[in-house]
Amino acid sequence: MKNVEVSVDKNILTIKVDLTKTFGASSSGKSIIIASSEGNQVVAPEICLGINVYKKNK
């Protein structure tokens, strides 16, 4: 995962993303990637996470 920190405590999923980091433009060039799970990831039994954090490219 890029810039995504995930933790599970009992039944609470916490996701941390540093909004000051960037990883360049998306493949289309329309947005700047801030964080990505890079596809679906298993975070607990039978629980999957898929996340993309981005901002518009000026």
User: DSSP letter string over 1-58?
Assistant: -BS-EEEEETTEEEEE--TT----B-SSSSEEEEEE-SS-EEEETTEEE--EEEEE--
Whether 58 shows a pLDDT value over 90: the answer reads no
Instruction: Dump pLDDT digits (tens) for 10-47.
Output: 999 999 999 999 999 999 999 999 999 999 999 999 99
Domain count, the chain: 1
Contacts of 45-52 with C-beta under 8 Å, sequence gap 24+, read: 47/13, 49/6, 49/13, 49/15, 51/4, 51/15
Could you list the residue range(s) of the whole structural domain that residue 9 is in? Answer: 5-56
Provide the pLDDT for residue 16: 98
